[in-house]
Structure 1
């Protein structure tokens, strides 16, 4: 077979897009992804001899139509990707809306198959919201190839867009209702016929009438089997095509075995028919899937549809002073926008004119208006309550805070905790075990010459379908994260909830975390009192270039220019003023740690290795800190701060903190946490500053409080969208509740299957009983999870 033609089917190769694989020790060329997939399956299953001994080319593998491939190639255009692809340096990331997902096994199947594709670094599927987050290497793989791979395994994907995603949900909802309606209607008719046969309502019914009833039941059952039940068969085919099994496999076997045996009995006019059981089975299973579909959507709506708060248009202010209507997504950085009273802020920006009150409840969960004036940052999606303001755009709509929240939430929902991964693996193994037990059951009862052998086997397949097991974890996590969102708590990874349940030690930063971050100078010392005003002016000028909250304690109306500024996180700042170098910061940073002065200072100013001044700067404890920390008596509480030990001890005494360590650099904090982790302590770290970022990243679970810097938010696992520490109580309470609900769900799902299996194998459980039990099991799990929405 030449390289000009496909090694599998013999058709000409497309040199615009080459597909290759190693077959019989050599690189072979294929014409399309379909032939490539078939060839790889043959090789993976050890059947390469097929190519060695075949006498003619194989049939062309199923592939994506050429027009579809061309359409997908449009998504490789950089201009089109700008709206939904996030650049992460070496890698790119996108969120997809997926079609065809029916259960947790679908998510496992997608992850398993795409992880094999070269160039994909990470694939995480959120079954509850029917989305997937894919991280890939753009130099190795194109976006269109990723979408083609998803389409090839039976799950068409499009870049996530809220309106489109909602439309997809409504289309699926409509399909569910059509299939459910048909199944329900036909089930009622077939059940009436079955009742007549069971109770002989027509009194001594003759064989011809019985046969007539069977034919009518067959006609009514056929559309239920092939239309209403198609959801399960497609799921089973996708799994089998990927050389795997899922929950739909035993369901499909049970449905078709019962249907075709009943069809043969009707045609041959001999044997039993259970058309009513088939209809009831499909109807109840569809009903449980529909209720699950609705409840997942209700939970996901809270966090997934935040973009409904963003207006489509904005009032853009041109350079000539005229106002024009512009699309919000077309706004660029440095554009000027007027937000009138009563309007919603279109994008993130800084107020350059005017002041007003803003409702930020959609971000923070707090309904008290926030007063904003010139120089303050306002966020897209918040409401302007009183006066017109002019803002300077600082972020495009794609990178606005509300979009970042949605993206982080999607990534978190897609990341699976260990218990969810365990459930996925267990479900797959359990299905294989069920198929094996069903086969043994049939062999045993057939060997016993029991005429019920076939129907007992069907009962085993139906009763033990592990749908509830697959729903146990994802439904609980979806509901929990939706509730936390309403409180103003954002999770960046779902397994943080699992890890929170095992925390033993809470480590806290002081400044800005436990305190207000509004500093004041309580004591000061100057080397030369006559130079006091000059020193304060220098100190204010230097600190004006720092983002640390302490800098706010030093202010002046007329600041001197500062050059060659260098900021050392957690230590201090250095810069030149009027040609002279000054350093301000901690005792260690300024080399004043051995200096004896009459006050307990925590901020020093030096120049030319000479200490010019020293200050004690203190902060006010947050009003809710004491109540919140007093509720955490089960945890060891540790305060880590870069402040002097005296200030740290004062705070620790007021808040009844077990241990307080002051004078820490970022490295010191990191070493403390590592040492405690080595001693088998599970650490929760709370922080807000740049200097907290390393330890936030190292902790088992980390929380960035509402006023945290961007770097701290980036390093943390949990973000508080407002400054109230009471959110910590909600977070830990929810972690405990989630753990309890997941355990209840898992216990019920596994317990039900273990309990019902002996009854099914022994023949006590009939097919229709198995149908009701399996459906109720799934509904109980979903209902139990929705308690977390309250």
Structure 2
């Protein structure tokens, strides 16, 4: 990167801004400037190793060369760190590490050549797409930290990849599938070539010996295809028959085995026809369709894999004497202090200590830019520390972290089967049983009409009627849609959430913490009864100290250390408790002070007033745009709030909401939703607090803001991972697209069978053409479902 005068404006190696006195080094015959000595040393090493072509080939700058990583790199040599990540292979041991500095193919080229030159390294494979580097090394010649030190010195800081077992299992399964489909493809070409010679002998002039030779050769070619390549279908049939629930695999395997054994019988007795080509083509095409379906599922579960990899395998823990040690993340416990370097991921949920710091939260919340957090703020596992190192007081680890909760939500959503998918499964099961009966009747009919074609026609009928497209039509679309939803930052808690959201006609918003910013401020404070402002703020702060309600944030920074006991939430009214031996209430005027409601927040003992607080809460920055987008989608927008009429009306006017209800208790909100439902409306509810749990559960589909209470999340159908309201109209659009794709897939699958089955029964389709038609039908519904993976930014 150069300025207008042709002088490098950033570091030659990593393009970071240059300091006032940059480091310099000669590279490729020219003096270059660098941001630090580490980058200068990396460039010099690249020059000395005759790998300077890297700078010419690269399309993106390298990562900044790392320094002071000796402790972290040395930890890679420990057995407890390597456990679960290193495996023995021929020639040594193998490990896969991640690095976020690999940004283009030239980076992978450099890593392959640079690390391979380190002593003891047997093999290096860098993947610029996934950011993974697989290293095989001889442990008797070098420690693992040796090649990793070279990797870090070039600007590719390594860390252990979590979720490697899942990735290894998936890779092994993919390799087996590729071998199966490869063998089936080659065998299909050979079988078709031999079959064509037999088909062209229409006048029966081929010598019998030549004919039998071609048949036996085809038998040898097709046998491994049917019984090894097609084993997944045979195993599936056996499983379905054991469960007394015949399905798609039963029809696939029975058709394949019928074609194969009928051909073997005809070969042995010298009959007229054989159908080896149909059997192998059937297996090959179905393997291709199934592999495409698995690709669709891999796209859908990409968010789970990303979440799994976000948790670092290693963490730096601060000891009581101030020293630090590198430990497996699994060994962290609540109360530990985790030290997170700039650019590293946070290992556990906790509180930020010491100084403000920025964290990249895109994976958890979808926020595009790093968020500035103050000391005391909650920092979540999986977020990335930027600009400066940070210290985190660990509060939740392992399965208790927000990262794990999101991972569980995504997996649950993708494993759920909505009602429409269950209906499709039921139809497929009955369809298979019906087809088997029809096949018997067709065989009997053709035995009377033309016995020589009875088996061929029956086989074509079984093949062409295989309900692959029907079985794939719904689950593939739903799975891909849930993956797209997760990328959007919306996680499903209910199998039927997408269908209900697509049908929504009305959407009801809570105000505080939902449409509102969630950070109300104190506009005015009045104290009564001999108490001053500081006293009443201290009492109110003590009562709200552990509350999850957004109103509690108005008293941040007012805590004077007063003790509060027996604190109890009164939904729709306020909060009560004992502070310094005296009972207090904070909430509505009639609840806290026995006065008429005026929309303010009152502090009192239930009869006498001690203070009056006037709160202000501005709407979220994207609230108006989200409401306009929903209205543009034809959805009626409502506001239902527990606040007084004046503030609610002003808030609704500001956002152009026509239907606003104030002073709504949880029961009132639920009654309002029930009223809309009684009128035939499909209602979506959006809320975030404890008060919203009943109405969230009662709505047709409910959406909880990600920062809200855990109870609201359990009651909600969908959870926003970040308080970005624009995700809601984006989710509605995706739900409607999913509904359209499901309908298209079902229409195609049913229409195909309605046309294809009569043609096959009439003897107008050969078995191999039937196999091709069935595979193309499955391919069409899968490719159509994959369109849902494209997610526009909200």
**Coarse TM-score class (shorter-chain normalised):** 0.7 to 0.9
In the TM superposition, what is the alpha-carbon distance from 1:578 to its structure 2 partner? 4.3
Over 3 Å counting, the alpha-carbon distance change for 1:292 and 1:579 in structure 2 is closer
Alignment of 1:384-399 (within 5 A): 384-399=385-400
Q: In structure 2, do the counterparts of structure 1 residues 432 and 631 end up closer, same or farther at CA, with 3 Å as the change threshold?
A: same
2:586 to 584, 599, 603: 584
Query: What does 1:116-515 align with in structure 2 at a 5 Å threshold?
Result: 162-200=163-201, 205-515=206-516
Alpha-carbon distance in 1 for matches of 2:580, 2:218: 97
Answering whether residue 628 of structure 2 is matched by residue 630 of structure 1, we say: yes
Residue in 2 aligned with 1:56? none
Is 1:743 paired with 2:746?
no
CA apart distance, 1:278: 1.9
Kindly indicate whether the alpha-carbon contact (under 8 Å) linking 2:263 and 2:276 is maintained by their aligned counterparts in 1.
Answer: yes
Are 1:496 and 1:701, in contact at CA under 8 Å, matched by a contact in 2? yes
1:450 CA displacement: 3.8
SS of 1:190's partner is helix
Q: Which residue of 1 aligns with 2:787?
A: 787
Cα displacement string for residues 429-472 of structure 1 (whole angstroms, at most 9, x for unaligned residues): 11111111111111111122442111111011000100111111
Size of the aligned set, in residue pairs, is: 627
Tell me the CA shift for residue 301 of structure 1: 2.0
Structure 1 residues 700 and 210: alpha-carbon distance in aligned structure 2, compared to 1, 3 A threshold: same
Question: Quick check: 517-526 or 274-283, which moved more?
Answer: 517-526
Structure 1, unaligned runs of 5 or more: 1-82, 84-160
TM-aligned CA deviation for residue 295 of structure 1 = 2.5
Further displaced range: 478-487 or 670-679 = 670-679
Aligned residues of 1:741 and 1:784 also touching (Cα < 8 A): yes
Structure 2 unmatched ranges of 5 or more: 1-83, 85-161
CA distance in 1, matches of 2:533, 2:376: 30
Measure the CA separation in 2 of the matches of 1:782 and 1:510: 41
Q: Residues of 2 paired with 1:556 and 1:586: CA distance?
A: 21
Aligned match for 1:609, one of 604, 607, 610:
607
CA distance in 1, matches of 2:220, 2:492: 52
Q: How does 1:726-741 map to 2 (within 5 A)?
A: 726-741=726-741
Distance 1:746 1:203 in 2: 45
Matches within 5 A, 1:564-575: 564-575=566-577
Aligned mates of 2:538, 2:329 — CA distance in 1: 43
My pick for the range that moved more, 261-270 or 586-595, is 586-595
Retained in 2: the 8 A contact 1:697–1:715?
yes
Counterpart mapping for 1:648-663 below 5 A: 648-663=648-663
- What RMSD in Å do the two structures reach over aligned CA positions? 2.3
Name the structure 2 match of 1:641.
641
- For 2:541 and 2:255, the matched residues in 1 are separated by 79
Q: What TM-score do you get using the length of structure 2 for normalisation?
A: 0.75
Alpha-carbon distance in structure 2 between the residues aligned to 1:219 and 1:530: 97
Q: Match for residue 130 of structure 2?
A: none
Secondary structure in 1 matching 2:596: coil
User: In 2, are the aligned partners of 1:601 and 1:615 still within 8 Å (CA)?
Assistant: no
Instruction: Tell me the distance in 1 between the aligned counterparts of 2:410 and 2:546.
Output: 34
Which one is further off, 658-667 or 695-704?
658-667
1:275-324 deviations in Å (ceiling 9; x for gaps)? 22222122111111122222322322233442111111111112222211
1:116 equivalent in structure 2: none
Q: Say if 2:693 and 2:715, in contact at 8 Å, map to a contact too.
A: yes
Aligned residue for 1:672? 672
CA-CA distance at 1:724 after TM superposition: 1.3
The 8 Å contact of residues 592 and 604 in structure 1, kept in 2 or not, is answered as no
| Structure 1 contact 570–690 (Cα < 8 Å) conserved | no
Q: Distance in 1 between matches of 2:679 and 2:606?
A: 44
Give the SS at the match of 2:619.
Answer: coil
Question: Which stretches of structure 1, 4 residues or more, deviate above 6 A after TM superposition?
Answer: none
How far apart, CA to CA, are the structure 2 residues paired with 1:348 and 1:594?
44
- Quick check: 1:778 aligned with 2:754? no
Deviation at 1:723, TM superposition (A): 1.5
User: What's the offset of the Cα at 1:718?
Assistant: 1.0
Gap change, CA 1:306 and 1:202, over 3 Å in 2: farther
**Which whole-Å deviations, capped at 9, do the CAs of 1:221-248 have from their partners, x for residues lacking one?**
2222221122211111111111221112
Deviation per CA, 1:165-213, whole angstroms, max 9, x where unpaired?
Answer: 3333222222212221211112222222222233359995322211222
Query: 1:157 is matched with which residue?
Result: none
Greater shift, 559-568 or 246-255, is seen at: 559-568
Structure 2 distance, partners of 1:682, 1:203, is 68
SS at match of 1:490: strand
Tell me if the contact between 2:523 and 2:615 (Cα under 8 Å) persists in the aligned partners.
yes
Change (3 A) 1:202 1:308: farther
Q: SS of 1:749's equivalent?
A: helix
Would you say the 8 A contact 2:593–2:603 is kept in 1?
Answer: no
Q: Are 2:768 and 1:768 equivalent residues in the alignment?
A: yes
Q: CA deviation at 1:541?
A: 4.5
Cα gap change, 1:586 to 1:270, in 2 (>3 Å)? same
The answer on whether the counterparts of 2:531 and 2:610 sit within 8 Å (CA) in structure 1 is no
Counterpart CA distance in 2 for 1:527 and 1:349 is 39
TM-score (norm 1): 0.76
* Distance (Å, rounded) in 1 between the aligned partners of 2:196 and 2:580: 100
Contact 1:354–1:387 (Cα < 8 Å) also in 2:
no
In structure 2, relative to structure 1, the CA distance for the partners of 1:205 and 1:389 (3 Å cut) is same
Task: Write the deviation string for residues 152-171 of structure 1: whole angstroms up to 9, x where unpaired.
Answer: xxxxxxxxx94333333222
- CA distance in structure 1 between the aligned counterparts of 2:389 and 2:163, rounded to whole angstroms: 29
CA separation in 2, counterparts of 1:607 and 1:281?
A: 79
Distance 1:429 1:361 in 2: 46
The 8 Å contact of residues 648 and 661 in structure 1, kept in 2 or not, is answered as yes
Q: Deviations over 1:53-89 (max 9, x none)?
A: xxxxxxxxxxxxxxxxxxxxxxxxxxxxxx9xxxxxx
What does residue 16 of structure 1 align with?
Answer: none
Contact 1:329–1:398 (8 Å) recurs in 2: no
Structure 1 residues 246 and 662: CA distance shift in structure 2, 3 A = same
Give me the whole-angstrom Cα distance separating, in 2, the residues matched to 1:748 and 1:179: 29
Taking the aligned partners of 1:417 and 1:584, their CA distance within structure 2 comes to: 44
Query: Structure 1 residues 236-245 or 541-550, which shifts more?
Result: 541-550
Change in Cα spacing, 1:601 to 1:180, as seen in structure 2 (3 Å) is closer
Cα distance in structure 2, aligned partners of 1:630 and 1:322: 55
Contact 1:196 1:202 in 2 (8 A): no
Per the alignment, residue 99 of structure 1 pairs with none
1:559-608 deviation per Cα after TM superposition (whole angstroms, max 9, x unaligned): 5443443332332222334443322111232253437xxxx442112236
**SS of the residue aligned with 2:569?**
strand
Question: Aligned equivalents of 2:415 and 2:664: distance in 1?
Answer: 36
Q: Which moved more, 1:257-266 or 1:774-783?
A: 257-266
Return the offset for 1:757: 0.8
Q: Confirm whether residue 712 of structure 1 aligns to residue 712 of structure 2.
A: yes
Other structure's SS at 1:584 match: strand
Q: Could you say if the C-alpha distance between residues 254 and 545 of structure 1 is closer, same or farther in structure 2, counting changes exceeding 3 Å?
A: closer
Match in the other structure for 1:74? none
Cα distance in 1 for residues equivalent to 2:288 and 2:605: 76
Structure 1 residues 503 and 317, CA, compared in 2 at 3 Å: closer, same or farther?
same
Cα deviation, 1:117-143, whole Å, max 9, x if unaligned, reads xxxxxxxxxxxxxxxxxxxxxxxxxxx
Query: 1:32 — aligned with what?
Result: none
Distance 1:399 1:544 in 2: 22
